[in-house]
Amino acid sequence: MKKFLLIKSILLFVIGVLIIFLTPQFVEHLRFCVSAIMMIYGVLEIVHAILNDKHFYEYYSFYYGAVETFLGLATIIFVKDFVVVCVIWAVWSILRETFEIMAVASGEEKGVLAVLSMIETAVVFTLSVEMLANPGEHSALTHTYLLIVELFLTSGTILFETFFEKRKEKIEHE
């Protein structure tokens, strides 16, 4: 499981770096890029659920991942309009942030991590609502920058949690 989290962290970081260097192309080919990211997130959720437990089908993350993957696939196949892609992206972003709220509400995230998570959620909600109200290239570009930040935060959080987990294990063994 730890190897999977490390691979996930590196993958999300690399995607973030690629988007930084290819931002104009990302926005130009938004339908394909957003769809691919939805499918990557979906597959990562599915794999995480499967690796997490033998009864993976009992976890919402498995089904959420399947829906994310399907939504990405449906978007790439059926949606041609830039504005519709922006709306789908905004709604998807809002739905993804519900996991952040759940993690804080359940106590899974605490302290500084919880505060940062709620700040990020507020920013994503605000910019997603703005993209819903004004879907277009400017909103898509703003959301692209937000996606880069989210990818780096997610990647960093995974590494941060793994580091402190190893540190805690080391202290317990001493």
* Helix, strand or coil, per DSSP, at residue 55: coil
**What does each C-alpha distance from 52 to 25, 48, 121, 148 come to in angstroms?**
36, 6, 25, 27
How far apart, in whole angstroms, are the C-alpha atoms of residue 33 and residue 72? Answer: 9
Report which of 155, 40, 60, 131 is spatially closest to residue 102, judged by C-alpha positions.
60
Q: How confident is the model at residue 168 (pLDDT cuts 50, 70, 90)?
A: low
Max intra-chain CA distance, the chain:
59
Q: What is the pLDDT of residue 73?
A: 96
Residue range 29-36: mean pLDDT, rounded: 92
